[in-house]
Structure 1
Amino acid sequence: MKCVSKLVLIAGFLSSTVVFGQAVSEKLKTEQSRLEKKINNTKSLLDKSKKNTETSLNELRLIDNQIKFREELVNNFDNQVRGAEMKVIEKGSEIKNLQEKLASLKEQYKAMLIYAYKHRNKFGRLMFIFASNSYNEAIKRGNYLERVADIQQKQFLIIRQHQGLIKKEISSIEQEKQYKMQILMEKKKEKEAIEKDKQKQEMVYKKFKQEETKLLAQLREDEKKKEVLKQKINSAIQKEIAAAEAKRVKDEAAAKKKASASTTTTSGSGTKPAGGTTTTTPTTENKEVAFTETKESAALSKSFEGNKGKLPWPVDKGSITEGFGKNAHPTLDNVFTNNNGIDISAPKNAQVRAVFEGEVTSVLNIPGAGKVVIIKHGNYRTVYSNLQDTYVKAGTKVTTKQAIGSLLVKDGSATSVAHFEIHQVVGTAVQCLNPSLWVTH
């Protein structure tokens, strides 16, 4: 019986170890799948860029992204190989324990069979029972013989179970070894791809280093366009805030006028209060109207906030080629650019979609930034610029992932770039937020 209990404990321990190991392995495989998807997206964009004879800074950023993603994938492969090696060691230890246990069980079973053989007698069982001093003792002896037979049968089943477990663990080790070899081959391919990407990166880098004067002029022009875009977006949001405030004041005045008229009518038809003065009861109608609007806005804001880190991308496929805030120029030393949002390289003329339900408040046309769409989500605003065509207008209600326009294409470019921003309105102040923290990864 002790052997049976030990087997149950060993099986429980092995089961928990396997479950933990599987969870880590699945997490690494999920991460591998995510990185491979990013690499494929970036590779697709780079393949399209190759058709263009004019190399762009955007292509250099895509190459940088490709190298980064491949290096992350190689690290992922390293972790999976280490995990496979640990599994092989664990399985080897488990097999050794099972084999030792199996040898012990066989010895015990052998001893029982030898004893049974030496004391074989067709009358032996009956004589053992009939030799009892009382009826109760005879019952106990009968139960004892049944338990011995039951133990022998269990011992036999445990031995078979151990043999099955050993066979299974050996098969598992072989699978882990094959998986490890496969991962090592994929790692080798990725390292070769990284070297090719780095060689191309160096070639593009040298080309741009020879055109620093042209790049600086282009950079200054781009920064001017960014500043114009920033001012236009802020102006549109402030205009929207002012219009909402004017509407609130107008509604409040109308509500007060209506309440005053109602009070005057009541006073003229009824009994005046003591002292001959007319008492005007403060109305809560205006507060109720304002509260209803604020409540809806707050609910949408809360829903938007609740999806932080889970919002879909504004394009179906793409790669972030310039992040939020301060960014180092890819070729010019000690030169930085500032970004109020993120720039996402996407396929040519890609569809742009709303990242969350809301209402379009502005559709602008800005030279150098194409068309711009601003969508309201309670106290939040999402901004989509660099659009060639728009499918919405001010006042349009949109749903999550609804197409709102298509991207602009620069002359000679094989890809498009979506500029995406998120703003939060607090009172009359507008704060830029980092979109990378809001969209899913």
Structure 2
Amino acid sequence: MKIQFNIIFAILILFSLTVFSQSREELEKKKNKTQQEIEYINSLLKLNQKNAESSYNNLLIINKKISLQENLIVSIETEIKYIDTKINKNKSAITALESDLKKIKDEYAKIIYYAYVNRSSYNKLMFIMSANDFNQAYKRLKYLEQYSTYRKAQAESIRKTQEKLSRKIAELEKNKEEKKELIKIQQDEKIVLASEKTEQKETLTKLQSKEKELKTKLEKQILARKKLQKEIEDIIAEEIRKAAERAKKEAENKTPNSKTTTTTKGNFALTPAEKIISDNFGANKGLLPWPTERGVVTGLFGEHPHPVLKNIKVQSNGIDISTSEGSSARAIFDGEVSKIVTIGPSNKAILIRHGNFFTLYSNLKETKVKAGDKVKTKQSIGIINTVKEEGKTTLHIEIWQESTKLDPSLWLSKM
């Protein structure tokens, strides 16, 4: 009974290790993804090396890199803990198998001893022939056959248990080597993180010496954003007015037998096609493709402290994505271009309508679409502007549901 319990215990451990291997794969994927993001950030910093010491955008990129580096170290630490768990489970499995092996060997030794004592064919024959009747003789014959089978089964059980034990010992040694390697990687990553924090501190110090210049830039940015926000609000209000007017005309021209095709959603009167786009857009929250082929988020949605200027908070209606020079902005969903807005000489914005949702793409040096154009998901709609003196190629994206501003990071898929 005890042996059966140990075998069941070993099977449970093997099952848990299978589940563990799946979790380990997920951890590996997450770690590899983080490492790829760090490599991409390094390539951005290398391209902007000339301005790396004093560029505000490079500070944002370094901040993001430090955040990723810290996440990577945490991922490695989690992986080490998983391996520790696996090591402990393998040790428990080895202990259980060793206990089983000892018991099976002890039983087998008794069988061999009994077989040795009764090894004579004459003794076996006498055992059968001394039966009181034919039925008892038959039973004794079957007993000897079963006894022989049992002895062979015990020998096979010893062989299989030894094989399992050897595999578990080999796996345990492998786990120990994996842990040793991960600890080394973690130590290396901590050294890199310390170096990055030093670089961050130096960059921050240099930028703080340009406080006046940064404040002037910030004031200009705030004015430009307020102007853009007002334009977006006016465009959305106009779209709502046009939709209401269209619905009113439809109602006036409606005959007793005709069906109403317009559906009201929020403040919008939507056509059947627009309603489908709107519903599909809403259903894809967290799954929408990125507006750039590659990039890293360097500006967050909402209110947050300025990374350089003390006691100053900045407000953003969207997120900023830093990417490489020459990159295109892409539509994140099917829709229709509502308007092209010119903010400055090298700063254009495109507003795309998706039913009662809107997406805004700004900081474009050129556009590839015009008002009224139908666009498809991932279609290139413009080229992102690069500020060469700052080494900055950043796309600003916003998502609106009518007049409500939404956080794009909650709507875009995880890159």
TM-score by length of 2: 0.92
- Pair 1:418–1:284, CA change in 2 (3 A): farther
Partner of 1:335: 312
CA–CA distance in 1 between the matches of 2:148 and 2:5?
20
CA–CA distance in 2 between the matches of 1:88 and 1:133?
59
- Pair 1:284–1:224, CA change in 2 (3 A): farther
1:59-208 maps to which residues of 2 (within 5 A)?
Answer: 59-208=58-207
Partner of 1:218: 217
- Pair 1:54–1:70, CA change in 2 (3 A): closer
Deviation, 1:284, is 5.2
CA–CA distance in 2 between the matches of 1:400 and 1:139?
82
Code of the residue aligned with 1:40 in structure 2: it is E
Deviation, 1:320, is 0.9
Code of the residue aligned with 2:84 in structure 1: it is E
Partner of 1:375: 352
CA contact (8 A) 2:261 2:272 kept: no
CA contact (8 A) 1:387 1:405 kept: yes
CA–CA distance in 2 between the matches of 1:288 and 1:236?
24
CA contact (8 A) 1:328 1:335 kept: yes
Identity value in percent: 31
Partner of 1:322: 299
Partner of 1:298: 275
Partner of 2:364: 387
**3-state SS of paired residue (1:110):** helix
Partner of 2:407: 434
Deviation, 1:286, is 5.5
Partner of 2:47: 48
Deviation, 1:367, is 1.7
> What's the CA shift string for 1:218-260, capped at 9, x where partnerless?
111111111111112222222222222222222332x24xx3x
CA–CA distance in 1 between the matches of 2:135 and 2:397?
89
CA contact (8 A) 1:98 1:166 kept: yes
CA contact (8 A) 1:54 1:412 kept: no
Contiguous gaps of at least 5 residues in structure 1: 260-282
Deviation, 1:436, is 0.8
CA contact (8 A) 1:77 1:187 kept: yes
- Pair 1:226–1:160, CA change in 2 (3 A): same
1:364 pairs, out of 320, 337, 341, with: 341
Aligned length: 410
> What's the CA shift string for 1:88-139, capped at 9, x where partnerless?
2222222122112211111111110110011012244444334333444334
CA contact (8 A) 1:225 1:368 kept: no
CA–CA distance in 2 between the matches of 1:368 and 1:390?
13
CA–CA distance in 1 between the matches of 2:371 and 2:124?
97
- Pair 1:381–1:130, CA change in 2 (3 A): farther
Partner of 2:230: 231
CA–CA distance in 1 between the matches of 2:412 and 2:157?
54
CA–CA distance in 2 between the matches of 1:411 and 1:84?
47
- Pair 1:146–1:408, CA change in 2 (3 A): same
CA–CA distance in 2 between the matches of 1:51 and 1:348?
14
CA–CA distance in 1 between the matches of 2:234 and 2:40?
36
**3-state SS of paired residue (1:310):** coil
CA–CA distance in 2 between the matches of 1:97 and 1:285?
78
CA contact (8 A) 2:299 2:321 kept: yes
- Pair 1:220–1:213, CA change in 2 (3 A): same
> What's the CA shift string for 1:288-339, capped at 9, x where partnerless?
4558954433332232222211222111211111100002111111101110
1:390-409 maps to which residues of 2 (within 5 A)?
Answer: 390-409=367-386
Contiguous gaps of at least 5 residues in structure 2: none
Partner of 2:321: 344
CA–CA distance in 2 between the matches of 1:394 and 1:133?
108
Once the two structures are overlaid, the 10-residue window that deviates more, 22-31 or 195-204, is 22-31
RMSD: 2.2
CA–CA distance in 2 between the matches of 1:133 and 1:393?
108
Partner of 2:242: 243
1:423 pairs, out of 367, 383, 400, with: 400
**3-state SS of paired residue (2:51):** coil
CA–CA distance in 2 between the matches of 1:204 and 1:311?
34
CA–CA distance in 1 between the matches of 2:27 and 2:385?
37
Code of the residue aligned with 2:130 in structure 1: it is A
**3-state SS of paired residue (2:387):** coil
**3-state SS of paired residue (1:344):** strand
TM-score by length of 1: 0.87
1:237-316 maps to which residues of 2 (within 5 A)?
Answer: 237-253=236-252, 255-256=253-254, 259=255, 283=256, 285=258, 287-288=260-261, 293-316=270-293
- Pair 1:403–1:313, CA change in 2 (3 A): same
- Pair 1:369–1:285, CA change in 2 (3 A): farther
Deviation, 1:142, is 3.0
CA–CA distance in 2 between the matches of 1:375 and 1:145?
87
> What's the CA shift string for 1:150-184, capped at 9, x where partnerless?
22112111111111111111111111111112111
> What's the CA shift string for 1:400-437, capped at 9, x where partnerless?
22222210112424341000111112xxxx10001111
CA contact (8 A) 1:225 1:369 kept: no
- Pair 1:326–1:53, CA change in 2 (3 A): closer
